[in-house]
């Protein structure tokens, strides 16, 4: 496995790109065509309040669902656009996105379906699963101390979902800085926006599956003691107790305050306590480290920029008008 670092010309190029996007992401992006804030005002005026009530219910049961809903939005929108395709089940002839390697341990699907069932009771055939995802991610973030943002609605649901699409589009947790920049650039996001949206790791948890490459055989020497040298040594010992070599199914919080949306994630990264390689690599680039340092401080613009990034993400590849469908249940296409 390649070391999580960016060197030479690539580092210089990435630094220039990062610095050039310092101010670009602070403004809320225009909504995609076909979306509007009052889309369900007449057809289902209680839609947003129903989603909000269910999110409150789920967070009372497990506050860490906030991270799950954030992850669902990202893993949906990054693969063919925000069309709810990440929620679809596999069939006898197709392996859906949720079966992708990069989607290991994805949570919250059943909860989204529970919201959908209630919306179908009050407003049958009106509110899309794609919109429910967007609302749930926003509401959950705000309820655990994060920012809120205005959500435009009107997305329709896609009917295509493949594991290959997910593994091709989503960033694996072993990417170095240049790899992350390239992945986000392919979706129209700058390097600063990538660091901002990485801040979603301030909430949530992960299976050990994505952490093991950071702890064992980091440089490919087939050595169990081959841990990322940039990782805090005591923290590495702690993680190895929770994630023994070869154990992919144990779970661990990915932030020291994983049930609260705050700036602790960036403080952890600066201290060598990033859970994934994609976390620790943010400070291997000088300009990247500068942004991480800025976001770690009180009164930084992290919350504002995160909200803007989530709005921009919600515009990716949306289906509107007569494209797609409004699913009756989120895990199955309509018959």
75 labelled catalytic: yes
Query: How far is CA 45 from each of CA 54, 64, 229, 300, rounded to the nearest angstrom?
Result: 16, 28, 54, 36
Return d(Cα 84, Cα 72) in angstroms, integer: 9
* Tokens 């620790």 -> residue: 280
Tokens coding 93: 């002839």
Structure tokens at 257: 């305050």
Establish whether 21 is an annotated binding residue.
no
Residue 79 annotated as part of some ligand binding site:
yes
Q: Is 90 annotated as a binding residue?
A: no
Residue 146 annotated as part of some ligand binding site? no
Question: What is d(CA 99, CA 129) in angstroms, rounded to the nearest whole number?
Answer: 19
Q: List b or e across 105-123, with b for residues whose CB sees 16 or more CB atoms inside 10 angstroms.
A: ebbbbebbbebbeebbeeb
**Taking Cα atoms as reference points, which of 38, 333, 7, 67 lies closest to residue 199?**
67
* CA–CA distances in Å: residue 17 to residues 12, 188, 192, 286, 311: 9, 13, 9, 12, 22
Residue 300 annotated in ligand binding: no
Exposure string of 31-41, with b = 16+ CB inside 10 Å and e = fewer, is: bbebbeeebbe
Q: Is 81 annotated as a binding residue?
A: yes
Which position among 75, 101, 207, 214 bears the catalytic label? 75
Task: Give CA–CA dist 54/21, Å, rounded.
Answer: 37
Does 108 appear as a known binding residue?
Answer: no
311 is known to lie in a ligand binding site: no
Flag whether 120 is marked binding: no
> Is there a binding annotation on residue 139?
no
Angstrom distance (rounded) from CA 252 to CA 105: 12
| Cβ atoms of residues 92 and 292 within 8 Å | no
CA distances from 249 to 71, 210, 224, 243, 246 (A): 18, 10, 18, 9, 9
Is there a binding annotation on residue 52? no
Question: How many CB atoms are located within 10 Å of the residue 93 CB?
Answer: 5
**Annotated binding residues for heme b:** 201
Residues placed in the known binding site for substrate: 171
The binding site for Ca(2+) comprises 76, 79, 81, 83, 85, 97, 202, 255, 257, 262
| Binding residue numbers | 76, 79, 81, 83, 85, 97, 171, 201-202, 255, 257, 262
The catalytic residue positions are 75
């Amino acid at each position: 496995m390649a070391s999580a670092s960016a060197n030479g010309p690539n580092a210089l190029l990435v630094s220039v790109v990062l610095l050039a996007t310092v101010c670009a992401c602070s403004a809320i992006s225009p909504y995609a065509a076909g979306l509007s804030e009052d889309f369900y005002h007449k057809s289902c005026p209680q839609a947003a309040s129903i989603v909000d009530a269910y999110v409150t219910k789920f967070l009372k049961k497990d506050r860490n669902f906030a991270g799950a809903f954030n992850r669902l939005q990202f893993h949906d929108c990054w693969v063919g656009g925000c069309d709810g395709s990440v929620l679809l089940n596999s069939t006898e002839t197709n392996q859906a996105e949720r079966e992708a390697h990069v989607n290991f341990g994805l949570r919250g699907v059943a909860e989204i379906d529970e919201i959908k069932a209630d919306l179908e009771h009050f407003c049958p055939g009106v509110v899309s699963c794609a919109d429910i995802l967007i609302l749930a991610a926003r509401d959950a973030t705000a309820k655990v101390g994060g920012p809120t943002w205005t959500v435009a609605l009107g997305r329709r649901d896609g009917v295509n979902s493949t594991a290959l699409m997910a593994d091709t589009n989503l960033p694996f947790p072993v990417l170095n800085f240049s790899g992350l920049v390239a992945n986000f650039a392919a979706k129209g996001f700058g390097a600063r926006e990538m660091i901002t949206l990485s801040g979603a790791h301030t909430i949530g948890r992960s299976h050990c599956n994505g952490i093991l490459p950071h702890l064992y055989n980091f440089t490919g020497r087939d050595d169990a003691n081959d841990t990322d040298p940039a990782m805090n040594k005591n923290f590495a010992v702690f993680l190895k107790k929770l994630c023994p070599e070869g154990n992919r199914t144990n779970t661990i919080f990915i932030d020291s305050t994983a049930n609260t949306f705050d700036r602790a994630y960036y403080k952890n990264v600066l201290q060598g306590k990033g859970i994934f390689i994609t976390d620790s690599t943010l400070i291997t680039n000088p300009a990247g480290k500068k942004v991480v340092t800025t976001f770690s401080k009180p009164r930084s613009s992290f919350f504002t920029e995160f909200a803007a990034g989530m709005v921009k993400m919600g515009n990716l590849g949306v289906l509107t008008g007569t494209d797609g469908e409004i699913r009756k249940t989120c895990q199955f296409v309509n018959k």
